[in-house]
Amino acid sequence: MKSDIQQLANQLNKQFDQGEASSMKWLFQPLLELLAKGEPVSVEDIVETTGKSVEEVENILSELPSVERDEQGRVVGYGLTLIPTPHRIEVDGKPLYAWCALDTLMFPELIGRTVHIESPCHRTGEIVKLTVEPDRVVSVEPSTAVVSIVTPEQMASVRTSFCNEVHFFSSETAAKDWLDKHPEGKVVPVEDAFKLGRLLGVRYKESGNGSCCGL
């Protein structure tokens, strides 16, 4: 019998396959690794890392409604971003940000780095602090913290459809108002959210090529 987290991962993967994430499996992990350096990523950087052509890279980027680019056309965010959000993460001493709470838990394995996370409870504003290694959650403060998860029917834009509703809460009690407004949603403990993130990340580890980490 499949676990609830495995079933949730299967459901989300099916939805991601119908949206923008389906077209960029080979790009996502190399792009995360480049963004984790804390600098804007040029098309040439992506070409060098993935072995794809400029045309292939530009075509994919043009198909992603959520990708963030600067005035020079460099990528500054896709899941992991240089643009401040409530979800602050520190990678090798560099301040970066994520689009949602689940991203912060999924990215350590994909970039092969330990990350330190600070994000306010979406209800109370209390800062949730975590240290996450690629293969485990090292610490969570407060220990009662949970993550909200939604399973939207449409995933055309992963950021607006999914990420904008995936938050940290200091406790399940703090998430009550959110759950009342999102009866189709759920909240899960940080450890379960970490497991979910790793299950979702497999789609990118198995399908990529050409990155420094074998993606």
C-beta separation of 131 from 114 below 8 A? yes
Catalytic (active site) residue 103: yes
| Catalytic position from the list 45, 121, 163, 192 | 163
Question: Is-catalytic flag, 121?
Answer: no
* Mean pLDDT, contiguous 10-residue spans, the chain (215 residues): 83 81 81 97 97 95 93 97 98 97 97 98 98 98 98 81 96 98 96 96 65 30
Q: Looking at residue 119, what is its pLDDT?
A: 98
C-alpha 195/C-alpha 6 separation (Å) is 9
pLDDT confidence of residue 212? 31
Of the chain, the percentage scoring pLDDT greater than 70 comes to: 92
DSSP category for residue 73: S
Catalytic choice (100, 135, 177, 212) = 100
Residue 213 designated active-site = no
**Domains of the chain with CATH codes:** 1-204 (3.30.450.410)
Q: Exactly one of 103, 135, 177, 213 is catalytic; name it.
A: 103
Block residue for tokens 């399940």? 172
pTM to 2 decimals?
Answer: 0.90
Element (H, E) at 44: helix 43-50
* Confidence (pLDDT) at 23: 64
Query: By C-alpha distance, which of 91, 114, 101, 99 is closest to 67?
Result: 99
Q: Which residue has tokens 């609830």?
A: 4
Closest CA to 126 of 138, 136, 137, 140: 140
Res 210: pLDDT: 36
What is the pLDDT at residue 213? 30
